[in-house]
Chains A and B, each alone.
Chain A
Amino acid sequence: MNLSNSEINEMYLDVLKELGNIGTGNAVSALAMMIGRKINMKVPVVKMVKLQEVPEILGGAEIPVVGILLNVEGDIEGFIMFVMSQASAHLLVNMLMGTALNGYSEFTEIEKSALMEIGNILAGAYLTALSTLTGFKMIQSVPQLAEDMAGAILSFPAIQFGETGDTALYIETEIFEESSRIVADFFLIPTIESYQKMLKALGVA
Protein backbone atom coordinates (compact mmCIF):
# COMPACT_ATOMS: atom_id res chain seq x y z
CA MET A 1 0.00 0.00 0.00
CA ASN A 2 1.42 3.33 -1.04
CA LEU A 3 0.31 6.25 1.03
CA SER A 4 1.13 9.89 0.58
CA ASN A 5 2.83 11.80 3.35
CA SER A 6 -0.32 13.67 4.20
CA GLU A 7 -2.29 10.44 4.42
CA ILE A 8 0.34 9.01 6.72
CA ASN A 9 0.25 12.14 8.85
CA GLU A 10 -3.53 11.93 8.99
CA MET A 11 -3.38 8.29 10.09
CA TYR A 12 -0.68 9.04 12.56
CA LEU A 13 -2.64 11.88 14.09
CA ASP A 14 -5.66 9.60 14.46
CA VAL A 15 -3.52 7.10 16.33
CA LEU A 16 -2.07 9.85 18.49
CA LYS A 17 -5.53 11.19 19.28
CA GLU A 18 -6.54 7.70 20.29
CA LEU A 19 -3.46 7.55 22.48
CA GLY A 20 -4.43 10.88 24.03
CA ASN A 21 -7.97 9.69 24.68
CA ILE A 22 -7.00 6.36 26.21
CA GLY A 23 -4.26 8.00 28.27
CA THR A 24 -6.62 10.63 29.54
CA GLY A 25 -9.22 7.99 30.37
CA ASN A 26 -6.61 6.17 32.45
CA ALA A 27 -5.55 9.42 34.06
CA VAL A 28 -9.12 10.38 35.02
CA SER A 29 -9.65 7.10 36.82
CA ALA A 30 -6.34 7.37 38.65
CA LEU A 31 -6.81 10.99 39.65
CA ALA A 32 -10.45 10.55 40.67
CA MET A 33 -9.42 7.64 42.88
CA MET A 34 -6.67 9.74 44.44
CA ILE A 35 -8.95 12.70 45.09
CA GLY A 36 -11.96 10.58 45.98
CA ARG A 37 -14.27 12.72 43.88
CA LYS A 38 -15.59 12.71 40.38
CA ILE A 39 -13.57 14.69 37.89
CA ASN A 40 -13.87 15.28 34.19
CA MET A 41 -11.11 15.53 31.68
CA LYS A 42 -10.87 16.19 28.01
CA VAL A 43 -8.17 16.31 25.37
CA PRO A 44 -8.60 19.38 23.21
CA VAL A 45 -5.33 19.12 21.30
CA VAL A 46 -3.05 16.28 20.22
CA LYS A 47 -0.24 16.95 17.80
CA MET A 48 3.42 16.58 17.02
CA VAL A 49 5.39 19.75 17.62
CA LYS A 50 8.96 20.94 17.22
CA LEU A 51 10.60 21.40 20.61
CA GLN A 52 11.61 24.94 19.67
CA GLU A 53 7.94 25.85 19.21
CA VAL A 54 7.02 24.63 22.67
CA PRO A 55 7.73 27.86 24.62
CA GLU A 56 5.34 29.65 22.25
CA ILE A 57 2.65 27.01 22.90
CA LEU A 58 3.07 27.70 26.59
CA GLY A 59 2.57 31.42 26.09
CA GLY A 60 6.15 32.59 25.61
CA ALA A 61 9.65 31.70 26.81
CA GLU A 62 9.42 33.97 29.85
CA ILE A 63 6.05 32.76 31.20
CA PRO A 64 6.47 31.26 34.68
CA VAL A 65 5.43 27.61 34.69
CA VAL A 66 5.70 24.46 36.76
CA GLY A 67 7.42 21.60 34.98
CA ILE A 68 7.47 17.96 36.03
CA LEU A 69 10.01 15.81 34.25
CA LEU A 70 10.31 12.03 34.10
CA ASN A 71 12.80 9.91 32.29
CA VAL A 72 11.46 7.00 30.22
CA GLU A 73 13.47 3.86 29.64
CA GLY A 74 12.80 0.49 28.09
CA ASP A 75 11.63 -0.20 24.53
CA ILE A 76 11.01 3.52 24.10
CA GLU A 77 13.49 6.01 25.51
CA GLY A 78 13.01 9.67 26.13
CA PHE A 79 11.34 12.10 28.47
CA ILE A 80 7.87 12.90 29.66
CA MET A 81 7.18 16.42 30.71
CA PHE A 82 4.11 18.07 32.23
CA VAL A 83 3.90 21.80 32.11
CA MET A 84 1.27 23.83 33.90
CA SER A 85 0.74 27.49 34.67
CA GLN A 86 1.35 28.34 38.31
CA ALA A 87 -2.38 28.97 38.67
CA SER A 88 -3.26 25.50 37.34
CA ALA A 89 -0.63 23.85 39.52
CA HIS A 90 -2.04 25.57 42.60
CA LEU A 91 -5.60 24.54 41.70
CA LEU A 92 -4.44 20.97 41.19
CA VAL A 93 -2.69 20.87 44.54
CA ASN A 94 -5.71 22.33 46.27
CA MET A 95 -7.95 19.82 44.58
CA LEU A 96 -5.71 17.00 45.69
CA MET A 97 -5.12 18.16 49.23
CA GLY A 98 -8.57 19.63 49.82
CA THR A 99 -7.11 22.98 50.79
CA ALA A 100 -8.27 26.45 49.83
CA LEU A 101 -6.41 28.66 47.42
CA ASN A 102 -3.78 30.55 49.37
CA GLY A 103 -2.75 32.84 46.56
CA TYR A 104 0.17 31.95 44.39
CA SER A 105 2.78 31.72 47.09
CA GLU A 106 5.68 29.32 46.73
CA PHE A 107 4.84 25.65 46.92
CA THR A 108 5.60 23.89 50.19
CA GLU A 109 7.58 20.65 50.12
CA ILE A 110 4.36 18.68 50.65
CA GLU A 111 2.69 20.49 47.77
CA LYS A 112 5.69 19.78 45.55
CA SER A 113 5.51 16.09 46.47
CA ALA A 114 1.83 16.12 45.65
CA LEU A 115 2.51 17.64 42.25
CA MET A 116 5.24 15.12 41.51
CA GLU A 117 2.89 12.33 42.52
CA ILE A 118 0.32 13.67 40.07
CA GLY A 119 3.08 13.73 37.45
CA ASN A 120 3.80 10.11 38.27
CA ILE A 121 0.16 9.08 37.94
CA LEU A 122 -0.44 10.98 34.72
CA ALA A 123 2.78 9.70 33.16
CA GLY A 124 1.79 6.17 34.13
CA ALA A 125 -1.62 6.68 32.56
CA TYR A 126 -0.20 7.84 29.24
CA LEU A 127 2.56 5.25 29.16
CA THR A 128 0.02 2.49 29.82
CA ALA A 129 -1.99 3.78 26.87
CA LEU A 130 1.08 3.87 24.67
CA SER A 131 2.08 0.42 25.84
CA THR A 132 -1.40 -0.92 25.04
CA LEU A 133 -1.24 0.50 21.52
CA THR A 134 2.32 -0.53 20.73
CA GLY A 135 3.13 -3.49 22.95
CA PHE A 136 6.28 -1.72 24.14
CA LYS A 137 7.49 -1.90 27.70
CA MET A 138 8.42 1.39 29.30
CA ILE A 139 9.65 2.30 32.73
CA GLN A 140 9.31 5.76 34.17
CA SER A 141 11.79 7.33 36.58
CA VAL A 142 11.07 9.31 39.73
CA PRO A 143 9.68 12.71 38.74
CA GLN A 144 11.48 15.99 39.24
CA LEU A 145 9.93 19.40 39.57
CA ALA A 146 11.07 22.86 38.59
CA GLU A 147 9.31 26.22 38.66
CA ASP A 148 10.75 28.75 36.26
CA MET A 149 10.47 30.37 32.86
CA ALA A 150 8.92 28.10 30.21
CA GLY A 151 11.93 28.47 27.93
CA ALA A 152 14.39 27.55 30.65
CA ILE A 153 12.42 24.48 31.73
CA LEU A 154 11.96 23.29 28.18
CA SER A 155 15.64 23.79 27.42
CA PHE A 156 16.44 20.61 29.31
CA PRO A 157 14.60 18.12 27.09
CA ALA A 158 15.27 20.31 24.04
CA ILE A 159 19.01 20.03 24.61
CA GLN A 160 18.98 16.34 25.34
CA PHE A 161 17.45 15.81 21.94
CA GLY A 162 19.22 18.64 20.22
CA GLU A 163 21.71 15.86 19.63
CA THR A 164 19.21 13.53 18.00
CA GLY A 165 15.59 14.40 17.39
CA ASP A 166 13.62 17.49 18.20
CA THR A 167 9.98 16.45 18.00
CA ALA A 168 7.54 16.04 20.85
CA LEU A 169 4.08 14.53 21.08
CA TYR A 170 1.94 17.23 22.61
CA ILE A 171 -1.33 16.45 24.42
CA GLU A 172 -3.17 19.32 26.00
CA THR A 173 -5.33 18.09 28.84
CA GLU A 174 -8.11 19.91 30.63
CA ILE A 175 -9.25 18.76 34.03
CA PHE A 176 -12.57 19.96 35.42
CA GLU A 177 -13.91 19.66 38.91
CA GLU A 178 -16.90 21.79 39.85
CA SER A 179 -15.85 25.31 38.94
CA SER A 180 -12.12 24.60 38.64
CA ARG A 181 -10.51 24.27 35.25
CA ILE A 182 -6.94 23.08 35.09
CA VAL A 183 -4.91 22.94 31.91
CA ALA A 184 -1.89 20.67 31.82
CA ASP A 185 0.32 20.21 28.80
CA PHE A 186 1.80 16.78 28.37
CA PHE A 187 4.87 16.23 26.23
CA LEU A 188 6.30 12.88 25.24
CA ILE A 189 9.76 13.45 23.87
CA PRO A 190 11.21 10.25 22.42
CA THR A 191 14.72 9.89 21.06
CA ILE A 192 14.83 9.84 17.27
CA GLU A 193 15.33 6.05 17.27
CA SER A 194 12.41 5.55 19.63
CA TYR A 195 10.29 7.92 17.58
CA GLN A 196 10.79 5.80 14.47
CA LYS A 197 10.14 2.64 16.45
CA MET A 198 6.94 4.13 17.79
CA LEU A 199 5.73 5.15 14.33
CA LYS A 200 6.36 1.66 13.07
CA ALA A 201 4.58 0.02 15.98
CA LEU A 202 1.61 2.33 15.50
CA GLY A 203 1.44 1.14 11.92
CA VAL A 204 2.20 4.43 10.21
CA ALA A 205 5.80 4.20 9.05
Chain B
Amino acid sequence: MMEIIKVGMADLNVTSYPNALTTLGLGSCVGVCIYDTKTKIIGMIHIMLPYSWGVKNNTNPAKFADTGIPLLIEKMEELGAAKKNMVAKLAGGAQMFEVTRSEFMNIGKRNVEAAKKVLQEQNISIVAEDTGGNYGRTIIFYSEDGRLEIKTIGKGTKTI
Protein backbone atom coordinates (compact mmCIF):
# COMPACT_ATOMS: atom_id res chain seq x y z
CA MET B 1 0.00 0.00 0.00
CA MET B 2 1.37 3.38 -0.97
CA GLU B 3 1.35 5.94 1.78
CA ILE B 4 1.50 9.70 1.18
CA ILE B 5 3.52 11.25 3.99
CA LYS B 6 3.09 14.92 4.86
CA VAL B 7 5.95 17.35 5.23
CA GLY B 8 5.04 20.44 7.27
CA MET B 9 6.40 23.98 7.02
CA ALA B 10 10.07 24.08 8.02
CA ASP B 11 10.15 20.32 8.17
CA LEU B 12 11.67 17.43 6.22
CA ASN B 13 11.00 13.78 5.66
CA VAL B 14 12.38 10.77 3.78
CA THR B 15 10.77 7.56 2.61
CA SER B 16 11.22 4.71 0.17
CA TYR B 17 9.22 2.90 -2.50
CA PRO B 18 6.20 2.72 -2.80
CA ASN B 19 5.50 5.79 -0.64
CA ALA B 20 5.17 9.43 -1.66
CA LEU B 21 5.88 12.72 0.11
CA THR B 22 3.69 15.81 0.00
CA THR B 23 3.69 19.38 1.25
CA LEU B 24 0.59 21.56 1.06
CA GLY B 25 0.21 25.18 0.07
CA LEU B 26 3.78 26.22 -0.70
CA GLY B 27 3.93 29.97 -1.21
CA SER B 28 7.26 31.75 -0.94
CA CYS B 29 8.71 28.64 0.67
CA VAL B 30 10.55 26.16 -1.51
CA GLY B 31 10.01 22.43 -1.64
CA VAL B 32 13.30 20.69 -2.41
CA CYS B 33 12.74 17.11 -3.56
CA ILE B 34 15.62 14.65 -3.89
CA TYR B 35 15.38 11.26 -5.60
CA ASP B 36 17.86 8.39 -5.59
CA THR B 37 17.44 6.90 -9.04
CA LYS B 38 18.83 3.48 -7.97
CA THR B 39 17.15 2.82 -4.61
CA LYS B 40 13.96 4.88 -5.14
CA ILE B 41 14.56 6.56 -1.79
CA ILE B 42 13.11 10.06 -1.77
CA GLY B 43 13.39 13.07 0.49
CA MET B 44 11.53 16.38 0.72
CA ILE B 45 12.19 19.56 2.67
CA HIS B 46 9.94 22.62 2.99
CA ILE B 47 12.39 25.48 3.51
CA MET B 48 11.30 28.95 4.61
CA LEU B 49 14.53 30.91 4.48
CA PRO B 50 17.80 30.82 2.53
CA TYR B 51 20.52 30.93 5.20
CA SER B 52 20.70 30.23 8.93
CA TRP B 53 23.54 32.61 9.65
CA GLY B 54 22.58 36.00 11.04
CA VAL B 55 19.19 34.62 12.08
CA LYS B 56 18.47 34.64 15.80
CA ASN B 57 15.77 32.03 15.73
CA ASN B 58 17.75 29.30 13.92
CA THR B 59 17.39 26.20 16.06
CA ASN B 60 15.43 24.30 13.42
CA PRO B 61 17.82 23.28 10.61
CA ALA B 62 14.91 22.30 8.34
CA LYS B 63 13.86 25.93 8.14
CA PHE B 64 16.87 26.95 6.05
CA ALA B 65 18.32 25.86 2.70
CA ASP B 66 21.93 25.87 3.94
CA THR B 67 21.37 23.63 6.98
CA GLY B 68 18.29 21.73 5.80
CA ILE B 69 19.40 20.34 2.45
CA PRO B 70 22.59 18.66 3.80
CA LEU B 71 20.50 17.21 6.65
CA LEU B 72 17.98 15.87 4.14
CA ILE B 73 20.78 14.18 2.18
CA GLU B 74 22.12 12.68 5.41
CA LYS B 75 18.71 11.25 6.31
CA MET B 76 18.42 9.73 2.84
CA GLU B 77 21.88 8.18 3.19
CA GLU B 78 20.89 6.69 6.54
CA LEU B 79 18.03 5.00 4.71
CA GLY B 80 20.45 3.56 2.15
CA ALA B 81 20.56 6.18 -0.60
CA ALA B 82 23.84 7.19 -2.26
CA LYS B 83 24.65 10.78 -3.08
CA LYS B 84 26.06 9.94 -6.52
CA ASN B 85 22.62 8.66 -7.60
CA MET B 86 20.70 11.66 -6.35
CA VAL B 87 18.89 14.20 -8.50
CA ALA B 88 16.73 17.10 -7.35
CA LYS B 89 13.52 18.88 -8.30
CA LEU B 90 12.37 22.25 -6.98
CA ALA B 91 8.96 23.85 -6.61
CA GLY B 92 7.62 26.98 -4.92
CA GLY B 93 9.41 30.28 -4.32
CA ALA B 94 6.44 32.39 -5.35
CA GLN B 95 5.94 36.03 -4.51
CA MET B 96 2.49 36.04 -2.95
CA PHE B 97 2.23 39.79 -2.40
CA GLU B 98 3.58 42.58 -4.54
CA VAL B 99 5.79 44.09 -1.89
CA THR B 100 8.19 46.21 -3.86
CA ARG B 101 9.81 48.04 -0.99
CA SER B 102 13.04 46.15 -1.45
CA GLU B 103 14.50 43.14 -3.18
CA PHE B 104 14.93 41.61 0.26
CA MET B 105 11.19 41.13 0.43
CA ASN B 106 11.19 38.76 -2.53
CA ILE B 107 12.10 35.89 -0.28
CA GLY B 108 10.71 33.33 -2.72
CA LYS B 109 13.35 34.14 -5.29
CA ARG B 110 16.09 34.18 -2.65
CA ASN B 111 14.96 30.79 -1.37
CA VAL B 112 15.18 29.30 -4.88
CA GLU B 113 18.65 30.78 -5.43
CA ALA B 114 19.91 29.47 -2.10
CA ALA B 115 18.47 25.99 -2.71
CA LYS B 116 20.23 25.85 -6.09
CA LYS B 117 23.53 26.98 -4.62
CA VAL B 118 23.42 24.40 -1.81
CA LEU B 119 22.48 21.59 -4.22
CA GLN B 120 25.37 22.59 -6.48
CA GLU B 121 27.77 22.50 -3.51
CA GLN B 122 26.48 19.02 -2.77
CA ASN B 123 27.02 17.96 -6.41
CA ILE B 124 23.36 17.14 -6.92
CA SER B 125 21.94 18.17 -10.25
CA ILE B 126 18.53 19.78 -10.61
CA VAL B 127 16.59 17.93 -13.26
CA ALA B 128 13.35 19.94 -13.12
CA GLU B 129 11.83 22.97 -11.43
CA ASP B 130 8.60 24.89 -11.22
CA THR B 131 9.35 28.05 -9.29
CA GLY B 132 8.41 31.73 -9.11
CA GLY B 133 5.10 33.28 -10.08
CA ASN B 134 2.58 34.65 -7.61
CA TYR B 135 0.59 31.57 -6.76
CA GLY B 136 0.65 28.73 -4.27
CA ARG B 137 1.49 25.11 -4.96
CA THR B 138 0.78 21.75 -3.40
CA ILE B 139 3.35 19.14 -4.38
CA ILE B 140 3.39 15.34 -4.32
CA PHE B 141 6.67 13.51 -4.90
CA TYR B 142 6.45 9.85 -5.93
CA SER B 143 9.19 7.35 -5.13
CA GLU B 144 7.99 5.12 -7.96
CA ASP B 145 9.66 7.22 -10.67
CA GLY B 146 10.65 10.48 -9.00
CA ARG B 147 7.82 12.39 -10.64
CA LEU B 148 6.68 15.57 -8.94
CA GLU B 149 3.04 16.51 -9.23
CA ILE B 150 2.22 20.19 -8.75
CA LYS B 151 -1.31 21.39 -8.01
CA THR B 152 -2.42 25.01 -8.09
CA ILE B 153 -5.69 26.88 -7.70
CA GLY B 154 -6.90 28.07 -11.09
CA LYS B 155 -3.75 27.04 -12.93
CA GLY B 156 -4.31 23.32 -13.04
CA THR B 157 -2.04 20.43 -12.22
CA LYS B 158 1.22 19.50 -13.87
CA THR B 159 3.93 16.93 -13.48
CA ILE B 160 7.64 17.57 -13.76
Give A contacts to B, CB under 8 Å. 52, 55, 60-62, 64, 67, 69, 71, 144, 146-156, 158-160, 162-166, 192
Contact = CB atoms under 8 A, between A and B. Distances in A.
Contacts of A158: 9, 48
Contacts, number: 93
A155 B49 contact: no
A146 B134 contact: yes
Q: Which 6 A-B pairs have the closest CB atoms?
A: A151-B25, A152-B136, A152-B27, A155-B27, A61-B25, A61-B24
Contacts of A153: 27, 96, 136
Contacts of B63: 162
Contact of B26 (A155, A160, A162): A155
B25 A149 contact: yes
B80 to A, nearest CB: 30
Nearest to A146: B96
Contacts of A60: 24
A149 B49 contact: no
A151 B57 contact: no
A69 B25 CA distance: 18
A148 to B, nearest CB: 4
* Interface SS of B by simple majority: loop
Sorting the interface of chain B by its residue count into under 10, 10 to 19, 20 to 34 or 35 or more gives: 20 to 34
Nearest to A63: B25
Q: Please report whether the interface of chain A is mostly helix, strand, loop or mixed according to DSSP.
A: mixed
Interface of B: 8-10, 24-29, 48-49, 55-57, 63, 94, 96-99, 107, 134-138, 153
Contacts of B27: 148-149, 151-156
A192 B57 CA distance: 10
Nearest to B94: A152
Contacts of A156: 27-28, 96-97
B27 to A, nearest CB: 3
A55 B96 contact: no
B58 to A, nearest CB: 9
Contacts of B57: 162-166, 192
A200 B27 CA distance: 34
Contacts of A71: 99
